[in-house]
Structure formats: C-alpha cells, structure tokens
A and B are shown apart, each in its own frame.
Chain A
Amino acid sequence: MNTNLALLLLLAPFLGFLFNVFFGKSVGKTASGTIGTRAVALSFAVSVYFFLEINQTQQAIQIQLFDWIQISNFKVDFGFLLDQLSVLWLLFVTGIGALIHMYSISYMHDDENMHKYFAYLNLFIFFMITLVIGSNLLVLFIGWEGVGLCSYLLIGFWHKNQEFNDAAKKAFIMNRIGDLGLLIGIFIIGSLFSTLDYATLKTAITGASDLNMYWISVAAFALFIGACGKSAQIPLYTWLPDAMAGPTPVSALIHAATMVTAGIFMITRLNYVFDLAPDVQNIIAIVGAVTALVAATIALVQTDIKKVLAYSTVSQLGLMFLALGLGAYEVAVFHVITHAFFKACLFLGSGSVIHALHGEQDMRKMGGLKKVMTITFVTFLISSLAISGIPPFSGFFSKDEILLVAFEHNKILWFIASLASLMTAFYMFRLLYLTFFKEFRGTAEQKSHLHESPTLITFPLIVLAILATLGGLISLPTNSWLNNYLSPLFTKVATEQHHFGTTEYALMFIAVIGGLVGIGIAYAKYIKQSQVPAEDAEITGFTKVLYDKYYVDEIYDFLFVKSINGLSRFFRDYVETTLTSMVFGLAKVTNEIGFQGKKLQSGSIGFYLFAFVIGMCAIVTYLFLVQ
C-alpha cells in the first residue's frame, strides 16, 4: 500500500511530464497546464496522506524497490524513506508546486512552448520528490542532479536568447561544482561506513565508538560544498541571481521555495554527521552569516525587481545556513518553510507585476501599481512584512529564532545576522515603495494596459499570503510543534525550548526595531523624498560596487572562465601541436634520413665495391684482429 502510494507520489508528476512531452502540443495549452497541475496536486494529496500517517504513527516508512548500484563494500538500493523530514518537505514542495503550476497556466499562456514548460515543471517536481524521499544519499543525488537539470532547462526556457542560455549553463555548472563536493562526501561516507543508507548510517554513527573524526570532518565539509552549490552560498552563489532569466514562476518554485533548500534538507538529513564535525559547523555558520550580509548589501541597490528578490533569497538562505551551522536544524527548517511561503508569494507577486507590465522588470520604470493591482499589492505587502520580520507574520518567528540561536553562540554572528535583517527590511520596502507607490514611471503604452492579474494568478498569491501570515504558528517560541515533530530526527537533544527571559525578549525587540528602522529608512527615502534609483550610468562610488555585485562575476570570469578558456586555447594551439610534432617528428626525421640516404646510392659500381671491400675488411678485422 505504502509502496504503491509512494510510487504514485513519485510517478504522478513523471507521468505528467511524459504526457506533456508526447501529447502536450496536441492537447492544447490549457489542457497541458491543467494536467501538469493535477499531477502535482495528486502528489500533494498523497503527501498529505503520508504526513497524517507519519504524524500519527511517528514511524518512518522505508520502501525498497530494487538493487541499484553495486559497490565493493556495500550496495545501493533504489528505495524511499518517508519520515518526518521528508514528508514535511514533500508537503511544501508539492503544495507550493501545485500552486505555482496553477499560476503558470495563466502566466505562460502566451508562450508557444507551454507544454514543454509544464513538462519541465513536472519533471522538476518529480526530481524534487526523488531528492526528498530517497532512502540513501545516492537516490538523493539523482534528485539533486535532476533538479539541477530542470533548473537548467527552465532558466534557458527561452532558448533563443543566448544570454539566458548562458545563465542556464552557469547555473548548471556551478551546481555541478557543488555536486562534485557532494560526491566526494558520498565516497568518504561510503568507505567509512560501508553504507549510504540514512537509517543504517545513523545507527552506524550513533553506535560506533571509535570514529575517524578527520575523515568525517572532510566528508562533512565536502557535503557542505555540495550544499553551497545547490543553496547558493558563498562562493557558489552567483548563479542564482542570473537564474532569474527563467520565467518568474520558475524562480518562485525552484530558485526560492524548493530547489535551493535542498542543501538545507541534506544537511538536516545528515545532522548526525555534521554534529561530529564542529569545525565544519563553524565554517557553515560563518559562510551562512557572510552570505546573508553580502547578498543583502547587494540587494540594497539592485533595480531589477527579480534580482532584488534573488539576492534576498541568497541572503535568507545564508541565515538558514547560519542556523544549520549552529546546530539548530529545526530552526533552519522552520525558516525554510516560512521562507518558502513568503518568498514564493513575493516572486509570484513580482511575476504578476511583470505580467502586467509585459515583461518590464526594472523598478525604475514601475510605480503606482497599488491602485490597479490591489490583490497583488496586499499579498506583496504581507510577504514583505513577513520577510522583514515584523510580528505577527511568519518571518518574524523563524528569523527571530535564528537570531536567538546566533546570539547564544556568538555575538558577532548575531550582529551580522541582525544587520542583514535590517537591510532586508530596507530593500524589501524599497522594492515595495518603488513598485506600488507614487506615480507610474513607465511608458504610456504600458500604462494603458495595466490590469490586475486573473484569478489563476491571484489565487495562489492569496493562499501563499495567508500561509506567510500564519506560517509562524507551527513553531511558536514557547510551544513549538515543529520542534517536537522533528525531534526524532536528531541525535542531539533538540535545542532546548528557550527559556524566555529578559535577554530573549530584548533581542526580539531589537530585531523588530531593526526591521522597523529598515522600513523607516526606505519610507524616508522613497516616499518622503520620492527618490528613484539613478540610471546605470550615473551610479558611482560604493553604490556602484554594490550595484555591480562586488564584481564577483567579473572576478570569477577572470579567474576561472577566462583562464580555463585561455588554457584550452593554449593546449589546443601549442601543446597539441607540439605533441603531434614530437611524435610524428620521428617519422619526419626517418623520412629525411631516407631522402639523404638516396645520395649514397650513387649508381657508381666503384663506390658499391668500395663499400663491399670496406665492409669485408671491417668484418674480417673485427673477427680476426680485434678479437
């Protein structure tokens, strides 16, 4: 029963994919979209069933399908593990997935390749489910690479534009750098524990007495590199902003809500490994905090609506990693969920705006949309408040917990995180003000077409806004359902319920004040003073550095892309030719000797006989005089 259901869960989107690939074009756009959406909705339903069952029984469901890969000291099964963590992830992956599918039906309606779009989207859901429910690291790896592939396909969905294709390629390759790390981690774990299966691994680690701490740390670090790639952490984050080249719903689904959280999922999944490697945990925390801050600073000055959201995502992911690094896995998970709600909502809202403006993404050409796009505005506002950490919206709870944990461990990290939060509030409201307030700054042509989006678009927005508002309820500071629910996963005793004393409340207060300060600055700048960000050419000073994202892309380009291409040219033009001429030079030399040797064969009998006699003398001398 469970097996069949799990297969249904997994295969529904896959069948949707197949259907759209083979028949999508013939059945028409709406039908293709509907079928895609229903497939995911079906998965959602199954997920709910599993959630209920697991929540009730507290028992993980193990499903083994078949032997997959045979390794010398172990074999890898193709199997599923449905436990608290995976079901939780399933719920929001399929849930938000279904909503975004629905949204896309309308959003993508004008695109001629809509069936392809839904095919890819379904495929993505399929791989994401695989990633989440895989019973071992290698099945996770299937999903891991699979979602990367779908991300590639969807970023480059408009494949006639080579820039988009570049972005897609970049995403795929940077992900692959991380994937290599993940693979290395898998290798080390495999050789250390002779298993890749989560359950077995957990018993092996908890049961073992003398563990090779060095290699475990290396493995943890390698796995973390993998997570960095997928979850866009420094230094592998630059692909995510570029990934905004894809259709906006894709950004919402893949690059905000689900795929980028895979890294957090994986680390949470293997928390018992990371717990054994405190050094790596510290690195994770620092990387997370720095990422949060750096991304937030960049987001401060971006003018592309999706870029702001993208850097915001990177920043929020950084916060989650901070939490992971501090061992507060459940807090990270909590933020993943709330973030999924409000960030999806924000992206979809921005999509709604872009849709209304026919593809315009520059905030400097927006403004005043509040009046025409009320629903979009309201949902956007709610989500912005949530991300800014204003109570009682969900973001407040999750972010606050991260800050609390950070404060407990390290004041500097807390300060960085708080600064990032403050900036978050600022740039989100800068975005909000520039987009929805004041007068419209676009062309008259655009203005005449401004409209609220259709129901298929607004409905998901509303649902997500509601979730963004209420999401915090699952883990209230004093009574966390989530912590209890997840506790079987963790080997360490879950972070003790905070005793809410003065410090905690003070911190909470500071956080809220910080958020409000951010909002205030934005208000002052963009409402009071009616500033509009300068044109590209006029940006100067540090703003320019921020606007150009610290030139990281350029540096990477110079360090890696240019150098490797240069190396390639060098190899092709010099090393290859040299090797060839070295090998075949021998042949040339031989040939030349042959050519010169022809002169010896002069045709003269005298010379021939001379050689004869000399040869004879040499032989005879050698044999009878030398010896």
Chain B
Amino acid sequence: MNNILNEIGIENYIFLSTILFCIGVFGVLYRRNAIIVFMSIEIMLNAVNLLFVAFSTYHQDAQGQIFVFFSMAVAAAEVAVGLAILVSIFRNLGSIDINNLKNLKG
C-alpha cells in the first residue's frame, strides 16, 4: 500500500489537528457548562492524538502510537476524576455552571 502521506502531506494533518485543538480551546473558553468544557478538553486531547498518529506514520515509528495509548489512559483517568469532582459539586450546589463558581476570588 502506498503511503498516504505522499498523497495528503503531513502539513494537512498538522493543520487539521491545530484547528481541532483550537476548537477545543474555543470550547473551553466559550461554554459555561462544566461538562461541555470537559468535552472540549477531550477534543484537544484527541486532536493531539491524531497528530501523534500522523507523525508516527511520518517517522514510520511505533512510539507515536504507543504514546497515544498513554494519552488515552490519561484521558480516561482525567475523566474519572473530573466527573467525580463534577458530581460532588453538583451534589453540593445543584449546578455545574462554572460561572457560579466565583466564591474564590480577589
């Protein structure tokens, strides 16, 4: 099988990942629902994962893909902890609107 990078070019992957990453950033800034913010972060991580795989192909090296595994593990762990925190907040406040979380300031 011909290598696809000859056809697509690594730059395109970089651009795609960057845009995806930036959308993630945008989501973090744009939304006030903690869960969506959270999802945005997942988008960011996925963007990076995609880039990892692309680079892995580019270098023809397995390490990039291995790293994606770790990245997934991290994402899973973060999700577990993050959702636990969210649930705990929801229990205390009845809301997960991050705009309501302004008690600590100054």
With known contacts A606-B29, A606-B32, A609-B29, A601–B101 Cβ distance under 8 A: no
Q: How far is B32's CA from A604's CA once the two chains are assembled, in angstroms? A: 10
Select B25's contact among A601, A603, A604, A613, beta carbons within 8 Å: A613
Residue on B with the closest CB to A604? B102
Q: How far is the CA of A605 from the CA of B32 in the complex (A)?
A: 9
How many residue pairs, one in A and one in B, have C-beta atoms under 8 Å apart? 28
CB interface residues, B 23-37, toward A, < 8 Å: 25, 28-29, 32, 37
Residues of chain B lying within 8 A (CB to CB) of residue A598? 105-106
Task: Give every chain A residue within 8 A of B102 (Cβ-Cβ).
Answer: 602-604
With A and B bound together, what is the CA distance between A605 and B96 in angstroms?
Answer: 13
Which B residues are in CB contact (< 8 Å) with A610?
29
B99 in the interface (beta carbon within 8 A):
yes
In the complex, per-residue mask of A587-627: 1 if CB is within 8 Å of any chain B CB, else 0: 00000000000100111111001100100000000000000
A:119-169 near B, CB below 8 Å? none
B28 touches A609 (CB 8 A): yes
A603 to B102, CA, bound (A): 5
Given contacts A606-B98, A606-B99, contact A601 B29 (CB under 8 A): no
A604 touches B28 (CB 8 A): no
Complex: A606 Cα to B100 Cα, angstroms? 12
Contact A605 B25 (CB under 8 A): no
Does B103 interact with chain A (Cβ within 8 Å)?
A: yes
Query: Are B28's CB and A603's CB within 8 A?
Result: no
With A and B bound together, what is the CA distance between A65 and B32 in angstroms?
Answer: 96
Say whether B1 faces chain A, with CB atoms less than 8 Å apart: no
Whether A603 contacts B105 by the Cβ 8 Å rule is yes
User: By the criterion CB–CB under 8 Å, are B29 and A603 in contact?
Assistant: no
Chain A residues whose CB sits within 8 angstroms of the CB of B28 once the complex forms: 609
Q: Quick one: closest A residue to B102, CB to CB? A: A603
**Residue from A602, A605, A609, A610 having most chain B Cβ neighbours under 10 A:** A605
Q: Is B104 an interface residue (CB 8 A)?
A: yes
Check B32–A601 contact: CB distance below 8 A.
no
Contact-size category for B: 10 to 19
The winner among A598, A601, A602, A603 for most chain B CB atoms within 10 A is A603
- Chain A interface residue count, Cβ-Cβ cutoff 8 angstroms: 10
Residues of B within 8 A of A606 (CB): 29, 32, 98-99
Q: Point out the residues of chain B lying under 8 angstroms from A605, CB to CB.
A: 37, 98, 101
Chain A, residues 330-357, CB within 8 Å of chain B (1/0): the string is 0000000000000000000000000000
Interface string of B82-106 (1 = CB under 8 A from A): 0000000000000000110111111
Within 8 Å by CB of B101, from A603, A609, A613, lies: A603
Tell me the complex Cα distance, A226–B71, Å.
Answer: 94
**What is the distance, in angstroms, from B98's C-beta to the closest C-beta of chain A?**
5
Contacts of A604 in B (CB 8 A): 98-99, 102, 105
Chain B's closest residue to A602 (CB) is B105
Chain A contacts for B106, CB-based, 8 A: 598, 601, 603
A206 to B28, CA, bound (A): 100
Query: Smallest Cβ distance from A511 to chain B, in angstroms?
Result: 96
Which A residues lie within 8 Å of B32 (CB)?
606
Find out whether the CB atom of A603 lies under 8 angstroms from the CB atom of B104: yes
Interface centre among B98, B103, B104, B105 (most CB of A within 10 A): B105
**B37 partner residues in chain A, CB cutoff 8 A:** 605
Closest CB in chain A relative to B106 CB, distance in Å: 5
CA of A33 to CA of B98, assembled, Å? 98
| Extra inter-chain contacts (16) besides given A598-B106, A602-B105, A606-B98, CB under 8 Å | A601-B105, A601-B106, A603-B101, A603-B103, A603-B104, A603-B105, A603-B106, A604-B102, A604-B105, A605-B37, A605-B98, A606-B29, A606-B32, A609-B29, A613-B25, A613-B29
Of the A-B pairs whose beta carbons lie under 8 Å apart in the complex, a sample of 27, sorted by A's number, is: A598-B105, A598-B106, A601-B105, A601-B106, A602-B102, A602-B105, A603-B101, A603-B102, A603-B103, A603-B104, A603-B105, A603-B106, A604-B98, A604-B99, A604-B102, A604-B105, A605-B37, A605-B101, A606-B29, A606-B32, A606-B98, A606-B99, A609-B28, A609-B29, A610-B29, A613-B25, A613-B29
Please report A residues at the B interface, Cβ cutoff 8 Å.
598, 601-606, 609-610, 613
